[in-house]
């Protein structure tokens, strides 16, 4: 199909995306979101680690950057400068499918899993699980979330909701900790 034969304009594409996000964002358990923010606040004297693969990983990195701007000691799992995780630290893993591999050994840190699948390995291992009601790129879209079928490819809807969800956490933390953008800018990279 040629692009000039599409029977509607580009604006319709954005309307579709915003409608999908709007419907599903209201299905999030905001009690769990509040629990996550309080868990993050409790780690002000500890370290926070974030992890994710692919596009979820990129969004996790954006979240880590904002936590850094808020004054938290934060690291991204898999980077060359990532330190060891220790007792009392927090690991936040974002994975649409929830198939993120977690070491089966004893762990003495707290684990938060953000996923679409309440029955996934990640959800079962996490101390706190946040379910984002979006389709995953590898799950049967016709059998999930009351027949929720996204017109978007693969995991796009999960990744969009993940970004908005984490931005909401940042905004809440700003208010909860009385930190404003002017203070956050003092922690922004000044060597680029």
Q: Are 109 and 91 in contact (CB under 8 A)?
A: yes
Cα separation of 163 and 33, whole Å? 13
- Which pair of tokens denotes residue 21? 């996000």
Q: Does the annotation mark 192 as catalytic?
A: no
Which residue pairs from 99-105 have beta carbons closer than 8 angstroms and sit at least 24 positions apart in sequence?
99/138, 100/51, 100/52, 100/53
Backbone phi, then psi, for 42, in 5-degree steps?
Answer: -70, -10
Question: Catalytic one among 20, 110, 159, 183?
Answer: 159
Which residue pairs from 159-162 have beta carbons closer than 8 angstroms and sit at least 24 positions apart in sequence?
159/55, 159/56, 159/59, 159/96, 160/17, 160/21, 160/134, 161/21, 161/24, 161/25, 161/28, 161/132, 161/133, 161/134, 162/56, 162/59, 162/94, 162/96, 162/114, 162/132
Cα separation of 93 and 156, whole Å? 17
Residues tagged active-site: 159
């Amino acid at each position: 199909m040629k692009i000039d034969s599409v029977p509607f304009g580009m604006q319709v594409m954005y309307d579709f995306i915003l409608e999908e996000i709007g419907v599903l964002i209201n299905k999030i358990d905001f009690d769990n979101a509040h629990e996550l923010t309080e868990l993050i606040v409790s780690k002000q004297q500890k370290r926070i680690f974030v992890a994710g693969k692919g596009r979820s990983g990129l969004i996790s990195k954006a979240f880590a950057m904002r936590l850094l701007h808020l004054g938290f000691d934060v690291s991204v799992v898999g980077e060359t400068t990532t330190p060891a995780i220790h007792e009392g630290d927090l690991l936040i893993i974002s994975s649409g499918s929830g198939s993120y591999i977690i070491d089966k050994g004893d762990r003495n840190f707290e684990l938060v899993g953000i996923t679409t699948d309440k029955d996934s390995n990640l959800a079962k291992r996490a101390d706190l699980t946040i379910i984002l009601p979006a389709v995953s790129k590898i799950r049967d879209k016709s059998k999930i979330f009351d027949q929720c079928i996204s017109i978007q490819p693969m995991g796009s809807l999960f990744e969009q909701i993940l970004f908005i969800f984490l931005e909401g956490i940042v905004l809440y933390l700003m208010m909860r900790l009385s930190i404003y953008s002017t203070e956050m800018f003092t922690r922004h990279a000044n060597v680029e």
